[in-house]
A and B are shown apart, each in its own frame.
Chain A
Amino acid sequence: MKFLLQRLAFYVFTAWAALTINFFIPRLIPGDPVTSLINKFQGQMSTEAINSLYVLFGLDKNASLWSQYVDYWGQVFHGDLGLSFTFFPTPVADILKQSLPWTIALVGITTFASFMIGTSLGVIAGWRRGSIMDGLLPVTTFLSSIPYFWLGLLAITLLAGPNSFFPSSGGYEPGLVPGWTGSFIGSAIQHSLLPALTILISSVSGWILTMRNMMVTVASEDYITVAHAKGLSERRVMVSYAARNALLPNVSGFALSLGFIVGGTLLVEIVFSYPGIGYNLFQAVGAKDYPLMQGVFLVITLSVLVANLLADVAYLLLDPRTRKEG
């Protein structure tokens, strides 16, 4: 329990540091969001309007940096992340609320599936090393060396097209209204197949490789020999003795990859014009949309932190050696 509280304190501190950096970065880079917004409106703005924009973005020149900082925290706690330029005057929070489910659904499910499939295959490949399963390794190593955005481009070129079952871009059929209707969900699934497959193929091999190698390492441990000597069934030795121990490093890897769900597949979303958070970031960078960028960074930071916390908890549950006495 004490360990968990310590970790929690650490994460609170990290979150504070990340948010503070998030506050300072736009104030340190040359030019400011208002200038770029003015440029967008091509100077057709009154001085009052410009001044009120500065206040709106928390960049009031009359306010001290400290009071800006305090205001910033107040806004963050209210979920107010400012207004987006690209989709002016939609609040950033609304945009994120819209795109986050897409990313979590697509990348979350594929990351989980990739981890489960890769780990299971890795367990078998490691346990039966020297068998046909080892032929899988060069293939997976090759696949893992392919960048997934390139794989995505390849998939679009080869599989998608006007008459193909696979749509080449977007998250759903343009005419449909998002909602819990059968046709919408069907369309969303159809649109997610190619990006999901791309991510799955390029990431599953990493899990296979690490799990197989850990299995081979663990298989030579004394307690595996003891488990065999005890006359336990092959399955029980493989699952409860070998895989159970080999899984530990992979679990932390998995938790970390959960953190990168939000930000890590930016390129896939760009390639497929998928309405997720990575695509938001791409648009924000293109339009110098600082508030949106800040918002996306904030979400990425928080999700990495939450994922790390999950990894700590998972490790605590899975490995008794990390638990402290008392």
Chain B
Amino acid sequence: MKTPVLEIKNFHVDYGLGPEAVQAVRDVTLTLHRGEVLGLAGESGSGKSTLAYGVTRLLPPPGVISGGSVVYHPPTGDSYDVMALTDAELRKFRWAETSIVFQGAMNSLNPVHKISTQMIDVIRAHEPQLSASARIARAQEMLKLVGISADRMDAYPHQLSGGMRQRVMIGMALVLEPQVVIMDEPTTALDVVMQSQILAQLVELRERLGFSVLFITHDLSLLVEFSDRIAIMYGGRIVEQARSVDLYKDSLHPYSEGLLKSFPALRGERRELAGIPGSPPDLRGMPTGCSFHPRCPQAFERCSAEIPVLGVPAARNDPTRSVACWLPGRVPVVQKG
């Protein structure tokens, strides 16, 4: 049985306060297990990046976490809620337990400091007892793992290519050997060749170091390739969760289906690209009921009236998957809340 490492429970994020607030993430419950790659997919504006920022408490104002908890289970010792940490505890938790690789590979590094300085200052902040030479050795070792030679240590970010910079960022994310690495579209700024190289390396590193990954992307076919499970987000909610293979072969939510048809598969037979008609919902004025119903080809009366609950579909007795849809055969066994 897999053990959870990060449990996100009933998580809500708003932008702004009061009745004017835009609800960007609503009631998200998601569990990341030890050693797995969990993919989080959705269109732009579906709230996936907001979720990542929220979980790490890095939301810039006016983002506000309006509810929920994020329980972290360290390998040894007691579990704790990240949302309840004090500032000092939070600083300790960051990077050492959960590190992040951000979208903008180009701008994630400080342009005026050397790569080595930026690698070493994170080691110094978390492990002050380590000697200077040990820090350098650790940074060098980590960069070697991501394919950056030691003589590039003293380079400045502008002297590296985009791919190299993202490798440095990945190396930096792993330098304290965290349990969880959140990757927010880490390869979107890179070309396809670089993308697959970096992903292959990531898979290899994960096998060696055993961290868990929350991988956020809009590229579903990429996730199908290398993640263990996939959660699909739409309008701030998780609409479907399943093992990658199951989701790819037999998606239950019409939105997942639409997403899958929007990307060419990396392998397998050719198929027609369809896309999803319409545009993502306006978070300020969400449709009633299921937020996907205005774009859903199979919508019926109930969809615009009631919000579907995420749950294990009654028709399939498979606890690994859940969906939030009113279509026949997808309604959950036990309706919660």
Residues of A within 8 A of B (CB): 130, 220-223, 225-233, 236, 240-241, 244-245, 248, 318-321, 325
27 intermolecular pairs with C-beta atoms under 8 Å apart: A222-B102, A223-B108, A223-B109, A223-B110, A223-B111, A225-B102, A226-B109, A227-B110, A228-B94, A229-B100, A229-B102, A230-B95, A230-B122, A230-B125, A231-B90, A231-B95, A231-B96, A232-B121, A232-B125, A236-B125, A244-B110, A245-B110, A248-B112, A319-B111, A320-B112, A320-B156, A320-B158
Report the minimal beta-carbon distance from A38 to chain B, rounded to whole angstroms. 61
Chain A residues near B172 (CB, 8 Å)?
A: 230
Q: In the assembled complex, how far is the CB of residue A14 from the closest CB belonging to chain B, in whole angstroms?
A: 29
Nearest CB of B to A246, in Å: 11
- Collect the chain A residues with CB atoms within 8 Å of residue B114's CB: 320
- Chain B residues near A227 (CB-CB < 8 A): 110
- Please tell me if the beta carbons of B126 and A231 are within 8 angstroms of each other in the complex: yes
Would B111 and A229 count as touching, CB distance under 8 A? no
Sort A-B residue pairs by CB-CB distance and give the 9 closest, nearest first: A231-B94, A222-B107, A320-B156, A231-B91, A230-B122, A223-B110, A222-B104, A231-B95, A230-B95
CB neighbours of A220 from chain B (8 A): 60
Identify whether the interface residues of A are mostly helix, strand, loop, or mixed. helix
Number of A-B contacts (CB under 8 A): 79
User: What's the nearest-Cβ distance from chain A to residue B8, in Å?
Assistant: 17
Return chain A residues, CB-CB under 8 Å to B113.
240, 244
State whether A229 touches B58 (Cβ < 8 A): yes
Interface residues of B, dominant DSSP = loop
12 additional A-B residue pairs with CB within 8 Å, beyond A222-B104, A228-B94, A240-B113: A222-B103, A222-B108, A226-B169, A229-B58, A229-B99, A230-B121, A231-B90, A231-B94, A244-B110, A320-B111, A320-B114, A321-B156
Chain A residue nearest to B106 (CB atoms) is: A222
Give every chain A residue within 8 A of B156 (Cβ-Cβ).
Answer: 320-321
A321 touches B93 (CB 8 A): no
Contacts A231-B91, A231-B92 given; does A325 touch B110 at CB 8 Å: no
| A222 and B102 alpha carbons, distance in the complex (Å) | 8
B interface residues with partner A (beta carbon < 8 Å):
56, 58, 60-61, 90-96, 99-100, 102-104, 107-114, 121-122, 125-126, 156, 158-159, 169, 172
Q: How far is the CB of B45 from chain A (nearest CB, A)?
A: 19
Report the separation of the CA atoms of residues A245 and B125 in the bound assembly, to the nearest whole angstrom.
20
Cβ-defined contact, A233 with B112, below 8 A: no
Set A221, A228, A232: member contacting B58, Cβ < 8 A:
A228
In the bound complex, residues from chain B placing their C-beta under 8 Å from that of A223 are 107-111
By the criterion CB–CB under 8 Å, are B95 and A321 in contact? no
Instruction: Give the most central of A223, A226, A325: most B CB within 10 Å.
Output: A226
Complex Cα gap A320–B109 (Å):
13
CB distance from A324 to the nearest CB of B (A): 11
- Evaluate whether A318 and B112 lie within 8 angstroms (CB atoms) in the complex, with A230-B122, A232-B122 already known: yes
B-chain residues with CB within 8 Å of residue A130 when the two chains form the complex:
61
Expressed in whole angstroms, the Cα–Cα distance for A32 and B107 within the complex equals: 61
Residue on A nearest B109 in the bound complex, by CB: A223
A248 vs B114: C-alpha distance when bound (angstroms): 17
A321 to B157, CA, bound (A): 9
Contact indicator B122/A231 (Cβ below 8 Å): yes
Q: Which residue of B lies closest to A320 (CB)?
A: B156
Alpha-carbon gap, A232 to B120, bound state (A): 11
Contact of A230 among B61, B94, B159 (CB under 8 A): B94
Bound Cα distance A318, B110 (Å): 13
Residues of chain A within 8 A (CB-CB) of B104 are: 222
* Alpha-carbon gap, A299 to B156, bound state (A): 39
> Please, which residue of chain A has its CB at the minimum distance from the CB of B175?
A230
Q: What B residues does A221 contact at CB under 8 A?
A: 107
Pairwise interchain contact B108-A226, C-beta atoms closer than 8 A? yes
Q: Chain A residues with Cβ under 8 A from B108's Cβ? A: 222-223, 226
Q: Which residues of B contact A325 (CB under 8 A)?
A: 159
Complex-state Cα separation, A229 to B113, whole angstroms:
17
Given A221-B107, A240-B121, answer yes or no on A319-B112 (Cβ-Cβ < 8 Å). yes
User: Of the candidates B56, B126, B158, which one forms a contact with A229 in the assembled complex, judged by CB atoms under 8 Å apart?
Assistant: B56
Of all chain A residues, the one with the shortest Cβ separation from B103 is: A222
Interface centre among B56, B61, B99, B110, by most chain A C-beta atoms within 10 angstroms, is B110
B56 closest partner in A (C-beta) = A229
Residue of B nearest to A220 (CB): B60
Complex CA distance for A102 and B96, rounded to whole angstroms:
56
Q: Which residue of A lies closest to B100 (CB)?
A: A229
Q: With A and B bound together, what is the CA distance between A248 and B110 in angstroms?
A: 13
Distance between B82 CB and nearest chain A CB, rounded to angstroms: 12
| Partner of A244 from B92, B94, B112, B169 at Cβ < 8 Å | B112
Residues A229 and B95 in contact, CB atoms below 8 Å apart: yes
Instruction: Name, among B99, B100, B112, B125, the residue most crowded by chain A CB atoms within 10 Å (CB to CB).
Output: B112
Smallest CB separation, B93 vs chain A (Å): 7
Q: Given A226-B108, A241-B110, A321-B156 in contact, is the A231-B93 Cβ separation under 8 Å? A: yes
Nearest-neighbour CB distance to chain A for B214, whole angstroms, equals: 14
Residue of A nearest to B107 (CB): A222
A217 to chain B, nearest CB (A): 13
